Amino acid sequence: ESKLQLVHRHIRAFPDFPKKGILFRDICPILKDAAALTAVIDLFEEHVRNNHQQVDLIVGLDARGFLFGPLLAQRLGIGFVLIRKKGKLPGATVSVSYDLEYGKAEAEVQEDAVAAGQKVLLIDDLLATGGTLYAACELMKKLQAEVLGCMVVIELKELNGINKLKTHNVFSLVQY
């Protein structure tokens, strides 16, 4: 079995969650299986080493980006930065509001989290409409960081999120 097949096998689908009509892709089984989680990080690491050797920081999205981002950053020997939902971060922050696949939200990052000119890779569990990663890119722009690309475990192709992010590289492990 390949690493990708192993990852694929540890994603479940739940219909009508969190709302009727949404087919929710659940990544919890990946976290529960040491080999599947290692495979995810191996595949991300390989992608970064092959394509983005200049990366300075991994930037993860609240909340499931926090499950994979620090593991990847540690593998690469670089730091991890959190983009959080509004009101969770102390000190000076910059924020941006955005639309979700289901609802509205506001994202925040600490002003000193990334220095101007630093090269970052964004990470989350899943790309749907692209609203969340778009907002994260906007935050990075406000800090004058350079976004090298985005990485997700799962990409929902039919929602065309990648078009919203057309100026950036998107790397996904599994596509539906």
Residues serving a catalytic function are: 64, 101
Smallest distance from ligand 5GP to CB 16, Å: 12
Smallest distance from ligand 5GP to CB 1, Å: 23
Smallest distance from ligand 5GP to CB 148, Å: 19
Smallest distance from ligand 5GP to CB 93, Å: 19
Contact 137, 145 (CB under 8 A): no
Token duo for residue 152: 């997700």
User: In Å, what is the CA distance from 133 to each residue of 33, 107, 169?
Assistant: 27, 10, 11
**What is the end-to-end Cα distance of the chain in Å, rounded?**
20
Taking the least distance from each CB to ligand 5GP, the nearer of 77 and 103 is: 103
Taking the least distance from each CB to ligand 5GP, the nearer of 49 and 157 is: 157
Q: Point out which residues pair with 149 in neighbouring strands.
A: 121
CA 98 to chain centre: 16
What residue ranges bind ligand 5GP (CB under 6 A)?
Answer: 24-25, 27, 61, 64, 100-101, 124-132, 161
> Coil, helix or strand for 128?
coil
Taking the least distance from each CB to ligand 5GP, the nearer of 116 and 152 is: 152
CA 39, CA 122: separation in Å to the nearest integer? 19
Taking the least distance from each CB to ligand 5GP, the nearer of 17 and 112 is: 17
